[in-house]
Amino acid sequence: MDFEIIHLQEVVSTNSWMLERGTTSSSVGIVATGTTLVVVADYQSGGRGCGTNRWESERGKNLLFSILLHPLELPANQQFRISMAVSVALCEMLSQYADGFSIKWPNDIYWNDRKICGMLIENRLAGTLIRDSIIGIGLNVNQRAFHSDAPNPVSLSQIVGHDVDCDALLNDFLSRLESVSIRETLCFDYGNKLFRRGKQAVYADKSGRFTAELKQVIPDGHLVLLDDKGRERLYAFKEVQFIL
Ligand code: BTN
């Protein structure tokens, strides 16, 4: 996969920039065969998190970027494959620096019980297929203090004890994405890296808190928990909260 990387000093949001300006190219599977557009920013004045959340990032300290992928014939009901590929590629890249990285369903990257990376994937559909996918990634790299109300942030420099080059991380991630996305073992690899997999922990859904074991994530992206009464519970994104 070839990438065209546009570097901006400041933008409202790299995802919004891509939504407005990005044009698509041809592709195979979830991987573009033409040039894939990537926009990176030193600072976002209105970085977007999931839902109505903001994404806090100190100017020039972290890796903030969006990729425009144009999948060829990826059905909308298989869109979770994109989340899996990006999450596995990020987790494997970070695991070169330390132990303790995992994927918190659906697509946050955690180091132990602290969040190092979030992603905002915005798919545009053409009928039942994904026309294009904007993958926005915020990776905390060199920020040492966090001021927003995000519960448990951590950066790579806090983990390894020194600054890390953001461009090198971006290139490393991009070089992994294609091979991870076409891997036969992608679902298996994603499952093996899940935060809390096989462990008892506390969750909350619309009926309140409960204790359960995280069993697996099925290929369409639903989370399977086994509660302490031996019942399997199936959740879509946002239907259940991890109590940390
Ligand atoms: C989350 O809430 O966990 C998702 C955070 C996603 C943040 C990234 S930073 C680059 C891209 N541009 C945005 O506005 N958001 C994503």
Inter-residue contact 40 to 5 (CB < 8 Å): yes
Residue 185: beta bridge partners?
A: none
In ligand 1, the atom with minimum distance to the C-alpha of 53 is: 2
Q: What is the pLDDT of residue 57?
A: 95
CA of 55 to the centre of ligand 1 (A): 6
Please report the pLDDT score of residue 52 as a whole number: 85
Report the nearest-CA residue for atom 16 of ligand 1: 136
192 contact partners, CB below 8 Å, separation of at least 6: none
Atom of ligand 1 nearest to the CA of 13: 14
Could you tell me which residues come within 8 angstroms of residue 7 by beta carbon, excluding any fewer than 6 positions away? 40, 41, 42
Pocket lining: 44 vs ligand 1, CB cutoff 6 Å: yes
Q: Please choose from 15, 16, 141 the residue to mutate so as to test ligand 1's pocket, defined by most ligand atoms within 8 A of CB.
A: 15
Cα(60) to centroid(ligand 1), Å: 15
CB 50 less than 6 A from any atom of ligand 1: yes
3-state DSSP assignment of residue 20 = helix
Give yes or no for residue 119 CB within 6 A of ligand 1.
yes
Per-residue pLDDT of the chain (244 residues; tens, 9 = 90+): 889 999 999 999 999 999 998 765 545 445 545 789 999 999 999 999 988 889 999 999 999 999 999 887 899 999 999 999 999 999 999 999 999 999 999 999 999 999 999 999 999 999 999 999 999 999 999 999 998 777 799 999 999 999 999 999 999 999 999 999 999 999 999 999 999 999 999 999 999 999 999 999 999 999 999 999 999 999 999 999 999 9
Q: How far apart are the CA of 120 and the centre of ligand 1, in A?
A: 5
- The answer, yes or no, to whether any atom of ligand 1 lies below 6 A from the CB of 108, is yes
Ligand 1: which atom is nearest the Cα of residue 14? 12
The residue whose two tokens read 């009928």 is: 127
Look at residue 33 in the predicted model and tell me its pLDDT.
54
- The DSSP line for 109-156 is EEETTEEEEEEEEEEEEETTEEEEEEEEEEE--S-----SS-SSB--H
Closest atom of ligand 1 to 118 CA is 3
Q: Is 48 in the pocket of ligand 1 (CB under 6 A)?
A: yes
Distance 233 CA to ligand 1 centre (A): 29
pLDDT of residue 107: 94
pLDDT value of position 24: 56
